[in-house]
Structure 1
């Protein structure tokens, strides 16, 4: 059995007694600790101030009388203000760091019954943080007949050792994970594991979180649920501010994000706080962060790290404390390589990165999400719509089959449920409604596939192609076709810019083409070896 070391404050009131035989009829925590047959105290580290040195002498003598094997080790700590938390914690932290303790060779118990309330709290915190490598010890007088020894109990801060508490924590963790999933009983093991990890991260840190995944995978909804979870746990008091970075262009991006001062530019008729200021104390969700320009990225990085930024036209910095969640359907690592995304910002965001799978990768979750969308429709419209048995079976058979592309992911599913519910005025979706909806979905996805004749899906993901404006799509299709047939980047550049290059004094068609391709996450090497 390892020797036991007790660390304790001398109780200036509880340990005090008249120095006579009557003192043995009174419960005194420090002396009583050493009177138990089932608790052998080998080393008693007594903390007291100079003012209580005489009491410390008496208590030391009485401990020696009841427990000769106990070695009392006295440490004098005087506080200017024993109720000043900062002073007491700082002094005790220095004391703990300097106290020789070997948890492998001795059992350390930290007594939190004596001392001021501030001192007790500080001992608890130092033990919880492992500056004092032991367990907490509580003592109390025995009820009923007078008893100088009293009772004692040990509190192990490893709560997993307490079955009822561990069960409660497990249940609460499951409830939080269910909250993040909007109460949907998802069945995909990988997705459920990821949500459990997000719950742990969201509960324990305010560091940025990066949510990746295709359009419609639920990044925006998950970000809002993370915010609502932190609000429920009182970890956040501000607002949830969401912005789609793809809608921010040019000078307006700086103004929208960081605000501006009156007169900063034409049309700036009044001061504008900006979205970062609006998120102070809360959460900022930057969806499609890969669409931000490099200048905006630099200012976002500084705002994350220093909590300061400069509004447009201002000569004084503004401040905002917020947690950032970023969303993107782009491969940011590829964007960094292409020069369209800052490497330092990506490194800052990449601490906690989670990739949300598309609906086609989670087909086992279609059934519970179908019920969820019906519940949402009922909340919006105030009318409950359900499937009949045959209709539900037909719809799920199609939804789970390879014929269902779900290219729009959960947006496709939500729109599908809305259509079927709308065309079922009697509140019952029947086989006929399902048959029409399946035909509609097939047509929708087939029409989308036919527009892929320009060959862009050979070079870009389906999600990236879906995000292109028609104008950019036509232009990009011609560019990639030229690149695919050219022998070099320079040759492709000369072909594409043959007319405009004649009007410029100096030309660098290869660099011009390289920058254009980088806007779409493409590089010249993408066209080599894939003819």
Structure 2
């Protein structure tokens, strides 16, 4: 296969005034690298030098064909002009990769030309390797020649390093926990890519306790590490922003608004300038507050209370919500324009009950946190660990508070553990404590839930049946299919039945109360 080199005439180096080495003529002096054709680009102002170099090369290497290509540049340091003319040259060239191997000589030409060569080669507008030459060193009699292949797949060490960096960022977003759930790991990989590639708002959806706040903090750390932002993360609980005090907290306040000395405040938006604004529980934000914050997000400008002029604050936005914003928008409780602004990148964090394979790594993580904070090394007795993990992974254990409940549970056992050992009896006490806590917190909500689903008919249900039906409804609402809900509800009794049709069994139970699976969708 024929070797073809494309490059600029070195208007200073190829004259050879400062040193004998000339980069372009030296191309044909390397053993083991033959040059069949040299495409030499030159400006008409250096026409004499171009022909002189051509004759020198042909004298030293008669088998090398030298083709002079006139390329006049008004300003060789103008990026737009250089790139457009090289691009036109590449489009009209007619590359034949089946018969010829192409190289771009980077040593000659301005730095702008070198950048343009690289961009054209990297985008495959010129199907060539990059070639760099240099003068001979003191202890070597021959000039240097290096070929750079832009296909990074050939550079295993570099590719491995890139993979390690990507893995480090994923581990950062996961808090260093070796999670096993494939759906969650895939979600984290997407967030890592999006957070490092765009400044657009990110919306994190998920139930209370799924870790939205911690994930937002880790995204902020990732953006700092990649130098996408420079400022800190300002955490705003939108549930506290309703009313004039909330507006002043967010947008700031001038003294003239109240007339009282010391009433000035910068506001949280100003504090987030150059950094990140985390709008937690944005589904709790009132319509009035939604309107004013939308303008600030879109323009980076807003009026503090009592101000006659706008101030600016450039920040990136992450929002968190535990309710369906689309449903709220359909019901008129959330502005559609704000929803459209926030949902460019939406990620739904799965609850703990859908990540049961991640319970054990999170248990290790919580024990490590307790050890650092309490200064004691903690561990489970074997039977205690087995019992606790079985309870945590049981489909009947729904973890309504998700990781918040889980972390608190582990911390309680650590505090109560004498000499750092968690026993079977401690685990049994904690399981009873969790069940009591969940039954108490849900008892008042059962009537409200059934009233929302069934209307007035729910008042006719016996108190004995109310708790059971409410739990069934909650599982149906959180399950992806009728069969999945059935498997969760009948996890233990199905093992003793000869014929298991959980979906049909659940369907009949719902029909008893005039309910249908479709209404939960």
Give 2:84's match in structure 1, choosing from 84, 94, 103. Answer: 94
Residues 344-355 of structure 1: matches in 2 within 5 Å? 344-355=337-348
- In structure 2, C-alpha distance between the alignment counterparts of 1:180 and 1:326, rounded to whole Å: 16
The alpha-carbon deviation at position 35 of structure 1 amounts to 5.3
- In structure 2, C-alpha distance between the alignment counterparts of 1:2 and 1:216, rounded to whole Å: 65
Moved more, 183-192 or 116-125: 116-125
Give 2:68's match in structure 1, choosing from 65, 72, 91. Answer: 72
The alpha-carbon deviation at position 190 of structure 1 amounts to 0.6
Q: Do the aligned partners of residues 43 and 341 (structure 1) sit closer, same or farther apart at CA in structure 2, a change above 3 Å counting?
A: farther
Give 1:373's match in structure 2, choosing from 348, 366, 383. Answer: 366
**8 Å contact kept, 1:209–1:349:** yes
**8 Å contact kept, 1:93–1:131:** no
Partner of 1:56: 50
Give 2:27's match in structure 1, choosing from 11, 19, 33. Answer: 33
CA deviation map 1:46-102 (0-9, x unaligned) = 25584x5543342244345546533221323243xx7xxxx6333333334443426
**8 Å contact kept, 2:36–2:64:** no
Partner of 1:410: 403
Partner of 1:334: 327
Give 2:39's match in structure 1, choosing from 44, 48, 53. Answer: 44
- In structure 1, C-alpha distance between the alignment counterparts of 2:81 and 2:370, rounded to whole Å: 60
The alpha-carbon deviation at position 287 of structure 1 amounts to 1.0
SS of the aligned residue for 1:383 comes to: coil
Q: Do the aligned partners of residues 2 and 297 (structure 1) sit closer, same or farther apart at CA in structure 2, a change above 3 Å counting?
A: farther
**Is structure 2 residue 274 aligned with structure 1 residue 275?**
no
SS of the aligned residue for 1:99 comes to: helix
**8 Å contact kept, 2:87–2:120:** no
Partner of 2:227: 234
**8 Å contact kept, 1:209–1:324:** yes
CA deviation map 1:347-374 (0-9, x unaligned) = 2222221110001110111111111111
**8 Å contact kept, 2:133–2:145:** yes
SS of the aligned residue for 2:277 comes to: strand
Unaligned runs of 5+ in 1: 461-479, 486-525
- In structure 2, C-alpha distance between the alignment counterparts of 1:61 and 1:372, rounded to whole Å: 73
Query: So what's the TM-score if we normalise by structure 1?
Result: 0.77
Partner of 2:246: 253
Unaligned runs of 5+ in 2: 460-514
Partner of 2:10: 11
The alpha-carbon deviation at position 452 of structure 1 amounts to 2.8
**Is structure 2 residue 154 aligned with structure 1 residue 161?**
yes
- In structure 2, C-alpha distance between the alignment counterparts of 1:103 and 1:308, rounded to whole Å: 52
The alpha-carbon deviation at position 183 of structure 1 amounts to 0.7
The alpha-carbon deviation at position 270 of structure 1 amounts to 3.7
- In structure 2, C-alpha distance between the alignment counterparts of 1:40 and 1:484, rounded to whole Å: 89
**8 Å contact kept, 2:35–2:64:** no
**Is structure 2 residue 174 aligned with structure 1 residue 178?**
no
- In structure 2, C-alpha distance between the alignment counterparts of 1:54 and 1:15, rounded to whole Å: 12
**8 Å contact kept, 2:451–2:457:** no
The alpha-carbon deviation at position 174 of structure 1 amounts to 1.3
- In structure 2, C-alpha distance between the alignment counterparts of 1:530 and 1:413, rounded to whole Å: 31
CA deviation map 1:192-226 (0-9, x unaligned) = 11111111112222221111111110010011011
CA deviation map 1:427-472 (0-9, x unaligned) = 1111111110000011111223322331426748xxxxxxxxxxxx
Partner of 1:477: none
SS of the aligned residue for 2:13 comes to: coil
**Is structure 2 residue 446 aligned with structure 1 residue 446?**
no
- In structure 1, C-alpha distance between the alignment counterparts of 2:112 and 2:210, rounded to whole Å: 49
SS of the aligned residue for 1:165 comes to: helix
- In structure 2, C-alpha distance between the alignment counterparts of 1:261 and 1:206, rounded to whole Å: 30
Partner of 1:395: 388
SS of the aligned residue for 1:426 comes to: helix
Q: Do the aligned partners of residues 30 and 312 (structure 1) sit closer, same or farther apart at CA in structure 2, a change above 3 Å counting?
A: farther
CA deviation map 1:376-419 (0-9, x unaligned) = 12222222222122211111111111232200000001110111
- In structure 2, C-alpha distance between the alignment counterparts of 1:210 and 1:351, rounded to whole Å: 8
Identify, as 1 or 2, the structure richer in helix.
2
Residues 130-149 of structure 1: matches in 2 within 5 Å? 134-143=128-137, 144-147=139-142
The alpha-carbon deviation at position 308 of structure 1 amounts to 2.3
The alpha-carbon deviation at position 39 of structure 1 amounts to 5.2
Partner of 1:516: none
- In structure 1, C-alpha distance between the alignment counterparts of 2:341 and 2:317, rounded to whole Å: 11
SS of the aligned residue for 1:15 comes to: helix
Moved more, 312-321 or 411-420: 312-321
Query: So what's the TM-score if we normalise by structure 2?
Result: 0.78
